[in-house]
Amino acid sequence: MTAHGDDVRDGEAKAASTAESRSSESEGVSIPEPQDRARSIPEAAVARLAVYLRVLSGLHEREVHTVSSEELAVAAGVNSAKLRKDLSYIGSYGTRGVGYEVAVLIGQIERTLGLTQQNRVAVIGIGNLGHALANYGGFPSRGFPVAALFDLDPDLMGVPVGGIPVDHVDDIPRVCAERDVTIGAIATPAKGAQDVCDRLVKAGVRCILNFAPVVLQVPEEVEVRKVDLAVEMQILSFHVARRSQETPDSTDSEHAATGAPQSENRDVNTGISPVDGMVVRP
């Protein structure tokens, strides 16, 4: 996430936004400058919209037609004020005194997230993770069909995984162009990641989901999001360490068993909940 991510935006390469805000040279208290237009939606809010969408889909399936911000917030693991503010970024689709119509909200969030048009995905690196991704049969609740698989291993060429035959990474440009791939998921080891990334970019792919432990260098028009297992583990480690030195030791666990919904789970980018992970085993 995140140069937009959650912590979002890096400092560099953000010439665009910087430039536009340099309109008035005046000193003192600067007036907000309203010309900022509507396209803003904070990155963090975008991530949460995806979560709300999942919850709403669940409600829709259960024939629930209306929800209040409070109900939806609890289900999504955020507080209601934040949820309302997030929804306000995409428009006013609620009814005061009543709540939101599930179907309407689903439609509006899907539209905002661009889910009305499909994004074909290419998975590169057909190992364990690649398999998991390929078998995911259209990522979230459909909308992201896996259209191409690539690897280096000669033994895998042509072998169908999740119904799609594996191609050689050398064919990335051709195959991606042919199948109109818009998102590339790099699930290779660190070593080949940058090379694969370059090929994807050359093929016109402008959105990449990177699972490899490297900092990909890409032209600025390419959006890269990274999922880093090690970082997650180390963050948890930090909390383990902090906890054990901070607490004089009052707990020995055994009191907090089953249903005690208190603290929130922090998602990598939402600070909260989920939407659709990876199907692994029924």
Partner DNA sequence: ATATGTGAAACTGTTCACAGCC
Partner DNA sequence: GGCTGTGAACAGTTTCACATAT
The answer to whether 186 touches 180, Cβ cutoff 8 Å, is no
CB closer to DNA out of 21 and 116: 21
Q: Is 157 in the site for a second copy (CB under 8 A)?
A: no
Which residues are paired to 95 by β-bridges? 99
- Does 128 carry a binding-site annotation? yes
Q: Is 168 in the site for a second copy (CB under 8 A)?
A: no
CB closer to DNA out of 132 and 268: 268
Residue 179: C-alpha distances to residues 29, 37, 85, 137 (Å): 53, 35, 38, 16
99 binds, among a second copy, DNA, none (CB under 5 to 8 A by kind): DNA
Which residues are paired to 209 by β-bridges? 185, 225
- Does 229 carry a binding-site annotation? no
Q: How far is the CB of 221 from DNA (least distance, A)?
A: 19
The answer to whether 53 touches 106, Cβ cutoff 8 Å, is yes
Closest CA to 33 of 22, 42, 41: 22
The window from 24-32, 63-71, 96-104, 118-126 that contacts a second copy (CB under 8 A) reads 118-126
**Region 221-240 residues binding a second copy, contact defined as CB under 8 A:** 221-240
- Does 94 carry a binding-site annotation? no
Closest CA to 184 of 209, 155, 212: 209
Q: How far is the CB of 2 from DNA (least distance, A)?
A: 8
The answer to whether 152 touches 127, Cβ cutoff 8 Å, is no
CB closer to a second copy out of 31 and 260: 260
Look up residue 247 and give its two tokens: 């607490």
**Region 107-166 residues binding DNA, contact defined as CB under 7 A:** none
- Does 265 carry a binding-site annotation? no
Sheet holding 94-95, edge to edge: 66-67, 99-101, 94-95
Residue 76: C-alpha distances to residues 51, 69, 93, 196, 235 (Å): 7, 10, 18, 36, 23
C-alpha angle with apex 258: 233 to 70, nearest 5 degrees? 85
CB closer to a second copy out of 28 and 261: 261
Q: Is 95 in the site for DNA (CB under 7 A)?
A: yes
Choosing from 60, 74, 84, 227, the residue that interacts with DNA (CB under 7 A) is 84
248 binds, among a second copy, DNA, none (CB under 5 to 8 A by kind): none
Q: How far is the CB of 92 from DNA (least distance, A)?
A: 3
The answer to whether 190 touches 212, Cβ cutoff 8 Å, is yes
Burial class (CB in 10 A: 0-12, 13-18, 19+), 19: exposed
Binding mask 28-67 for DNA (x = CB under 7 A): --x-x---------xxxx---------------------x
**Region 255-274 residues binding DNA, contact defined as CB under 7 A:** 271
Distance of alpha carbon 61 from alpha carbon 1, whole angstroms: 30
Q: Is 278 in the site for a second copy (CB under 8 A)?
A: yes
Q: Is 249 in the site for a second copy (CB under 8 A)?
A: no
Would you tell me which residues interact with DNA (CB under 7 A)?
4, 6-12, 17, 21, 30, 32, 42-45, 67-70, 78-82, 84-85, 87-88, 92-100, 271
